[in-house]
Chain A
Amino acid sequence: MSPAPTIWRSDLPLGKDDSSRFLPWIVGAMVYLAALALAGVLAAGELVSGWRAELSGALTVELPQPVEATDADRQARLQRVLDVLTATPGIAHAEALGPDAMAELIGPWLGPDAGAADLPLPDLVAVELADDATVDGTALSQRLTAAVPEARLDDHRDWLERAERLSWLVRLLAMMVLGFVSAAAALAVLFVTRTGLDIHREVIELVHLLGAPDRYIARQFQFHALAQGFVGGLLGLAAGGASIAAIGWLAATLGGGLVPLARLGWNDWAVIAALPVAAALVAMLTARIAVLRILGRSL
């Protein structure tokens, strides 16, 4: 006869319902989907911010390979471009990418054995700006084309904007998935709560007659839902975490850097790990609101 703490003790036999027995599994499935969706949101964000950090302060000059150019021609062209670049204030470093760097760039798409020399690839010059320096891109572009007419300056802005738009779209879709999943979980809790109120109608009536206010009944349902939501959330998190880790591992194995899931950081994992708490809170709040509204309409 050691009484449980008041907050957890239930005067209603809610744990014995068949209807509530499945709630943790339903919530678990929802949290699993939510974990995957959230991982998508976070990975998309990480990916774009990673790209932005990498590309800010960086320019690329692209020199398409003429059909009949000799190595000497190409070197001369490259040197003219490098001269223009090094003479430009604000540019800290400019370097033509050699065969090894080119092979590394195309490796993920064409495989490690693809020889850069065998392909009509453009010559590329990687440019790093000095810290906090700004360079007039239009003027630089004009000076470069004056030196080498076919030179094209790429500040990556167009590409980054397209990537950001795509990333926002992915995030929007994932947020919609999260919204649907939360709504579905809340509906499941609502259904279980209504069934519970119906199953325990007599007990609830008795407890009312003994002087229990509606909020006392609601408290019993809400903490039951909280516990079940949390257990379900942990189940879903375990499955979701394993799936995300597996996808990350596969991504790292198959194409290092191509698949963004491999880039989830500890902060992102912490957000995903908070899902069971969120699920438990959604379940608790839904149960409380449902009980108070349903009981308020009765008698």
Chain B
Amino acid sequence: MFQRHPGANKDRAPLVLLEQVAVRYGDGPDILRDISFALAPGTLHFLVGPSGAGKSTLLRLLYLALKPSEGRVTLFGRDVAGLERRDLPPLRRRIGVVFQDFRLLDHLTAFDNVALPLRLAGVREAEIKKHVGELLEWVGLGDRLDSLPATLSGGQQQRVAIARAVIARPQLLLADEPTGNVDDRIALRLMYLFEELYKLGTTVLIATHNESLVARFPHHQLHLEGGRLALRPRLSAARH
């Protein structure tokens, strides 16, 4: 279903680089402060921490919905502060996002929701039909292509949201609680999907509360607490 990103893991310059980043809204307190880390191409990290720690804000920074109040964010080698409005769409198309609240378009079918990033990228309809059908089949929704989100369960909507995030083979995949509404079996299946993408060269960052999932997959963790970051070592736990 997927092919390896050309040049993945060859160029080890970080895909994401945050240096001394702080975020605050207006004159309010810092939501994030002194955040510095780098994500190399083709790596998978978990972003963990309690509710309100700033995980979603950090993800918003990375999917270019927010600019830092202080510090520097570099994505794909470009300083976000220097980006013009017209520079954003091509960069955003290299990023896949699974939103915590899914953010599916209610008036579009599961198929059309997943097809949207490909249509934005100008992919031909014949290819869209093939790839979207395959992916929705893979996430277990092959029989719900024409269903509107309102007719899908929470878990099914989440799978559509994940399919939409990965369909265009993003270089950077950001997922906010992607397994929050699915049972363990589906959660594992989705994690295997993320692992497959990361092995093919996608840089993956998964914000999650699911400690058992984190324990099960041996990847680096970024631990956020009170808006500050603590880097945890790679867990050595076995995958299964």
Q: Give the complex CA separation of A299 and B112 in angstroms.
A: 27
The residue in chain B whose Cβ has the minimal distance to the Cβ of A5 is B125
Does B82 touch A at the CB level, under 8 Å?
Answer: no
A203 at interface, CB cutoff 8 A = yes
Number of interface residues of A (CB under 8 A): 20
A216 on the B face (CB < 8 A): yes
Q: Verify if B119 is at the interface (C-beta below 8 Å from A).
A: yes
Residues of the A chain whose Cβ atoms lie less than 8 Å from the Cβ of B105: 11, 13, 203, 206
Q: What 1/0 mask marks residues of chain B from 45 to 63 whose CB sits below 8 Å from any chain A CB?
A: 0000000000000000001
Of A3, A209, A213, A216, which contacts B125 at CB under 8 A? Answer: A3
B89 CB–A CB distance under 8 Å:
yes
The 8 closest A-B pairs by CB, nearest first: A211-B93, A211-B92, A13-B107, A213-B89, A211-B89, A211-B120, A212-B120, A206-B103
Bound together, the chains give a CA A67 to CA B65 distance in angstroms of: 97
B125 contacts A208, C-beta separation under 8 Å:
no
**Which residue of B86, B117, B119 contacts A213 across the interface (Cβ within 8 Å)?**
B86
Q: What is the distance, in angstroms, from B143's C-beta to the closest C-beta of chain A? A: 12
Q: Which residues in A have some Cβ–Cβ distance to B below 8 Å?
A: 1, 3, 6, 11, 13, 16, 203, 205-214, 216, 296, 299
Pull 11 A–B residue pairs with CB atoms less than 8 Å apart, ordered by A.
A3-B125, A203-B105, A207-B116, A208-B92, A209-B63, A209-B64, A209-B97, A210-B120, A210-B164, A212-B120, A216-B89
> Closest CB of chain A to B68's CB: distance in Å?
15
Query: Chain B: which residue is nearest A295 at the CB level?
Result: B85
Alpha-carbon separation in the docked complex, A213 to B89 (Å) = 5
When C-beta atoms are compared, the residue in chain A nearest to B64 turns out to be: A209
Q: Are B85 and A299 in contact (CB under 8 A)?
A: yes
User: In the bound complex, how far is the Cα of B84 from the Cα of A214, in angstroms?
Assistant: 13
Name which residue of chain B comes closest to A298, CB basis: B85
C-alpha spacing A207/B103, complex, angstroms: 10
Question: CA separation between A213 and B146, bound complex, in Å?
Answer: 27
A209/B65 in contact, CB under 8 A: yes
B90, A211: Cβ atoms closer than 8 Å: yes
What CA separation (Å) do A16 and B108 show in the bound complex? Answer: 13
Query: With contacts A1-B145, A6-B119, A11-B108 known, is A212 near B103, CB below 8 A?
Result: no
Instruction: Please give, as numbers and ranges, the residues of chain A lying within 8 Å of B119 by CB-CB distance.
Output: 6, 11
Given known A3-B125, A209-B65, contact A296–B97 (CB-CB < 8 A): no
Q: Which chain B residue lies CB-closest to A299?
A: B85
Say if the beta carbon of B111 comes within 8 Å of chain A.
yes
B109 is an interface residue with CB less than 8 A from chain A: yes
Q: Which of B106, B116, B128 contacts A210 (CB 8 A)?
A: B116
Q: Could you tell me if B85 and A210 are in contact, using CB atoms closer than 8 angstroms? A: no
* Bound Cα distance A11, B164 (Å): 14
How far, in angstroms, from A283 to B61 measured CA to CA in the complex?
37
Q: Give Cα distance in the complex from A208 to B117, angstroms.
A: 10
B88: which A residues are within 8 A, CB to CB? 208
Write out the residue numbers on chain A whose beta carbons fall within 8 Å of the beta carbon of B65: 205, 209
Contact B117 A210 (CB under 8 A): yes
Closest chain B CB from A215 CB (angstroms): 9
Interface residues of B in 121-137 (CB under 8 A from A): 121, 125, 128-129
C-alpha gap A216/B119 in the complex (Å): 10
> Bound state CA distance, A210 and B112, in angstroms?
13
B117 and A211 contact, CB distance less than 8 A: yes
Give the residues in chain B near A212, CB-CB below 8 Å.
89, 120
Q: Which residues of A contact B106 (CB under 8 A)?
A: 13
Which of chain B's residues has its CB closest to A16's CB?
Answer: B107
User: In the complex, given contacts A13-B107, A211-B90, what are 10 additional A-B residue pairs having Cβ atoms less than 8 angstroms apart?
Assistant: A1-B111, A1-B146, A6-B119, A6-B125, A11-B116, A203-B105, A209-B65, A210-B117, A211-B117, A212-B120
A6 surroundings in chain B (CB, below 8 A): 119, 125
Nearest A-chain residue to B60, judged by Cβ: A209
